[in-house]
């Protein structure tokens, strides 16, 4: 939608407008916000479109799509017109009385969410709903009598159009409600429709190889999967022919089961990605597919879309072949088991694992001459039966992770070569302003660097210095923060972080819709079916933009859940002193917990400190609804 609304600023022809956007166009024409001139539609002067933000004091701010506006546009509470945080809105500009432009919202063109989550709270004699995201109170479409029958703190999902109660989710005081809260806040669903479930179960549990005579039969090869210990959706399997120097990357052939515009496809497109909580996953596809017939489970035949990548004696790719196959995984490994094999602590019946690691180590070394090696850690959390935190830890990439990653990069890179338009994974280079801020932050930490036009070389110099000082992981976090986010696009723009001219996502169609689209495009390419290929490309840029948004949302859901668990822990530890380090110091001081538990975000008021400064703070307050922890500084920790 953003692409369409931006196009109205310069004019767009009707034939260039998607069916979905034509409905928006009709609304804009009826409101007099758009006019037609010489077969093109234009947004009229005095109107603006953008994304709405709402502050804690209920003032709105429109982030305009028109780049001529250098500041956000203010919307007073009385002019919000029942619009909600994150909505894409049409607004009419008001006469300029102050230096800052203001506007009145005419309508929400696209709701950020169809529903909101509120909890019941007493205000005087009345029971109102308080929005968990904004903290704003709302009059609910229900009788006061019925609301007073509910315990205070009851969590309700409400319709954003009329504030009608859609669902009772639980109670704010109940830790077991957190999963429902995090999903509902971002309008995510953990249930599939009956149509989706029936469609998924219709494929059964087994693959009959005799039904696929045209597929390449690779069941005799010793494929294996390598995944986290608790994984159930096995997207990828690997095999290495050491003698022929051929790496096989076999990916679950989801497109064989999920056809375009089917019930499952529509739901998968809406979800975009699987969501992973510490205790459970919310899959993109029904579990009958994601954890069964599509999953490359061991000792059973499975359909795969496979790359065979041949390397020469200098480890250069000399040939890449893509074909539909049938495989039979011989072993399901977890990462720890592979690490033990590589360290010589464990025997292995799969003979090619160590030789493949030796090869991928060489490939990685060569690749990192033009890319970056960020030493990041992923926060892991364990919960007890009552839904409270029992353990947290940071997990670093190990040799097993690197082995799998380099094989997947080969396949993703090979897939990107086969399309000129479709689904690319782009990562733009950082802009000057962010790099300048990074250099200022580094200077405060004793790392003095000047700007270079060759950003890749500059970043590598910073990392070398950080290695010498022994704070590489912390510095890598700052470098990552200065970079732009990777995004999906129908056009190739290259991947700065990986150092690739072309890149896409091919290897995870069970959990990423982007990969599923790509598989369909590649199959159309193999069949030389240009008509099908072009049909699959309809509205592809809009789909890519939506996928980028859905990816960020999936991450936010997972982070929100962990924030809620940390907030509950903090609520039981008011007055406790804990160690942490400063992770943000721009507008507000935020520290990361670095004690018995690690990773919680702690908001500190009335204090200033440099990034990475270690502190001891006392927990003073926690807000379960917003999942925030507040603390005051007890003392600095000198290193």
pLDDT digits (tens, 9 = 90+) for 135-148: 888 899 999 999 99
Distance (Å, whole) CA 409 – CA 239: 15
Both 344 and 357 in one domain: the answer is: yes
What are the φ and ψ backbone dihedral angles of 48, each rounded to 5 degrees? Answer: -145, 145
| Rg value, the chain, Cα | 26
pLDDT at site 233:
93
Asked if the structure places residue 564 within a domain, the reply is no
Distances in Å between the alpha carbon of 341 and those of 240, 299, 329, 397, 569?
16, 21, 18, 16, 38
Ordered alpha helix ranges (H), 424-539: 432-444, 455-469, 472-482, 513-526, 530-536
Cβ atoms < 10 Å from Cβ of 174: 16
Neighbouring C-alpha atoms within 13 Å toward the C-beta of 614: 8
pLDDT at site 21:
86
List the structure tokens of 343: 């360290």
Both 198 and 221 in one domain: the answer is: yes
Distance (Å, whole) CA 178 – CA 186: 13
**Beta bridge partners of residue 43, listed in sequence order:** 34
Both 98 and 201 in one domain: the answer is: no
Distance (Å, whole) CA 270 – CA 119: 27
Both 250 and 313 in one domain: the answer is: yes
Asked if the structure places residue 567 within a domain, the reply is no
Both 474 and 461 in one domain: the answer is: yes
pLDDT at site 415:
98
Distances in Å between the alpha carbon of 513 and those of 150, 274, 477, 538?
40, 9, 28, 16
Both 218 and 242 in one domain: the answer is: yes
**Beta bridge partners of residue 601, listed in sequence order:** 592
Asked if the structure places residue 189 within a domain, the reply is no
Residue 409, Ramachandran bin (φ over 0: left; ψ between -120 and 50: alpha; else beta):
alpha
The structure tokens 């022994």 sit at 470
Distance (Å, whole) CA 248 – CA 259: 25
Both 615 and 520 in one domain: the answer is: no
Both 442 and 470 in one domain: the answer is: yes
Asked if the structure places residue 94 within a domain, the reply is yes
Residues contacting 499, CB < 8 A, separation 6+: 367, 370, 371, 372, 456
Task: Write the CATH number for 30.
Answer: 2.40.50.140
List the structure tokens of 465: 């210095």
Residue 446, Ramachandran bin (φ over 0: left; ψ between -120 and 50: alpha; else beta):
left
Low-confidence ranges of the chain (pLDDT < 50): none
User: Is 580:596 a contact under the CB 8 Å cutoff?
Assistant: no
Collapsed DSSP state (helix, strand, coil) of residue 221: coil
List the structure tokens of 375: 């030493």
Neighbouring C-alpha atoms within 13 Å toward the C-beta of 508: 18
Both 69 and 129 in one domain: the answer is: no
User: Is 519:252 a contact under the CB 8 Å cutoff?
Assistant: no
Rounded to two decimals, the pTM is 0.87
Asked if the structure places residue 566 within a domain, the reply is no
Distance (Å, whole) CA 240 – CA 270: 36
Collapsed DSSP state (helix, strand, coil) of residue 71: coil
User: For the chain, how many residues are written?
Assistant: 639
Asked if the structure places residue 188 within a domain, the reply is no
Asked if the structure places residue 568 within a domain, the reply is no
Distance (Å, whole) CA 617 – CA 397: 30
Residues contacting 203, CB < 8 A, separation 6+: 257, 288, 289, 293
What are the φ and ψ backbone dihedral angles of 394, each rounded to 5 degrees? Answer: -100, 130
Cβ atoms < 10 Å from Cβ of 519: 22
Distance (Å, whole) CA 389 – CA 189: 24
Both 630 and 525 in one domain: the answer is: no
Choose one of 62, 78, 110: the last residue of a domain. Answer: 110
pLDDT at site 638:
80
Choose one of 77, 110, 143: the last residue of a domain. Answer: 110
Both 227 and 204 in one domain: the answer is: yes
Number of independent structural domains in the chain: 5
Asked if the structure places residue 179 within a domain, the reply is no
| Direct distance between the N- and C-terminal alpha carbons of the chain, in angstroms, rounded to an integer | 50
Both 438 and 340 in one domain: the answer is: no
Choose one of 79, 95, 110: the last residue of a domain. Answer: 110
List the structure tokens of 463: 């990392």
Residue range(s) defining the domain that contains residue 249: 194-428+488-555
Neighbouring C-alpha atoms within 13 Å toward the C-beta of 571: 19
pLDDT at site 161:
83
């Amino acid at each position: 939608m953003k692409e369409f609304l931006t196009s109205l600023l310069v004019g767009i022809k009707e034939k260039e407008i998607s069916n979905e956007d034509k409905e928006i166009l009709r609304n804009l024409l009826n409101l007099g916000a758009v006019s037609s001139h010489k077969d093109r539609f234009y947004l009229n002067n005095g109107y603006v479109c953008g994304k709405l933000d709402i502050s804690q004091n209920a003032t709105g701010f429109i982030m305009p799509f028109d780049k001529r506006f250098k500041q956000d546009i203010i919307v007073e509470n009385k002019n919000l017109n029942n619009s909600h945080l994150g909505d894409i809105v049409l607004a009419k500009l008001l006469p300029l009385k102050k230096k800052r432009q203001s506007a009145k919202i005419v309508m929400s063109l696209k709701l950020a969410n169809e529903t909101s989550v509120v909890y019941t709270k007493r205000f005087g004699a009345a029971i109102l709903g308080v929005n968990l995201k904004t903290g704003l109170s709302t009059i609910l479409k229900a009788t006061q009598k019925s609301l007073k029958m509910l315990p205070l703190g009851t969590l309700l999902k409400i319709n954003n159009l009329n504030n009608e109660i859609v669902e009772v989710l639980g109670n704010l005081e109940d830790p077991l409600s957190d999963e429902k809260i995090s999903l509902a806040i971002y309008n995510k669903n953990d249930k599939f429709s009956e149509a989706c479930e029936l469609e998924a179960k219709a494929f059964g549990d087994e693959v009959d190889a005799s039904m696929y005579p045209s597929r390449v039969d690779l069941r005799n090869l010793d494929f294996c999967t390598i995944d986290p210990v608790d994984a159930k959706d096995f997207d990828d399997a690997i095999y290495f022919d050491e003698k022929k120097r051929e790496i096989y990357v076999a990916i679950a052939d989801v497109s064989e089961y999920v056809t375009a515009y089917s019930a499952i496809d529509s739901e998968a497109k809406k979800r975009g990605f699987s969501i992973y909580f510490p205790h459970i996953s919310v899959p993109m596809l029904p579990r009958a597919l994601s954890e069964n017939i599509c999953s490359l489970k061991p000792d059973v035949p499975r359909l795969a879309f496979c790359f065979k990548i041949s390397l020469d004696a200098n480890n250069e790719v000399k040939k890449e072949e893509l074909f539909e196959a049938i495989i039979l995984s011989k072993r399901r490994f977890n990462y720890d088991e592979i690490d033990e094999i590589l360290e010589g602590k464990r025997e292995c019946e799969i003979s090619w694992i160590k030789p493949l690691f030796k090869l991928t180590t060489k490939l990685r070394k060569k690749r990192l001459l033009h890319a970056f090696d960020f030493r990041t850690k992923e926060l892991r959390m364990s919960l007890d039966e009552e839904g409270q935190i029992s353990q947290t830890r940071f997990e670093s990439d190990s040799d097993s992770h690197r082995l799998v990653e380099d094989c997947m990069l080969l396949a993703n890179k090979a897939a990107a070569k086969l399309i000129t338009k479709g689904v690319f994974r782009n990562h733009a280079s950082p802009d000057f302003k962010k790099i300048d801020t990074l250099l200022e932050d580094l200077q405060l930490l004793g790392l003095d660097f000047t700007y270079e036009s060759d950003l890749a070389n500059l970043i590598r110099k910073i990392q070398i210095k950080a290695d010498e000082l022994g704070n590489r992981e912390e510095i890598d976090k700052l470098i990552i923060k200065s970079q732009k986010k990777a995004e999906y696009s129908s056009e190739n723009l290259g991947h700065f972080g990986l150092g690739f001219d072309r890149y896409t996502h091919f290897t995870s169609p069970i959990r990423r819709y982007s990969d599923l689209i790509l598989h369909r495009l590649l199959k159309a390419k193999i069949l030389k079916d240009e008509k099908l290929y072009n049909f699959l490309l309809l509205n592809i840029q809009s789909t890519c933009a939506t996928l980028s948004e859905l990816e960020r949302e999936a991450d936010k859901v997972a982070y929100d859940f962990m924030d809620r668990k940390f907030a509950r822990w903090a609520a039981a530890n008011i007055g406790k002193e804990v160690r942490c380090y400063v992770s943000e110091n721009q507008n507000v001081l935020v520290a990361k917990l670095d004690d018995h538990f690690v990773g919680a975000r702690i908001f500190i008021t009335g204090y200033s400190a440099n990034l990475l400064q270690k502190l001891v703070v006392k927990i003073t307050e926690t807000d379960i609804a917003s999942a925030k922890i507040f603390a005051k500084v007890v003392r600095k920790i000198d290193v």
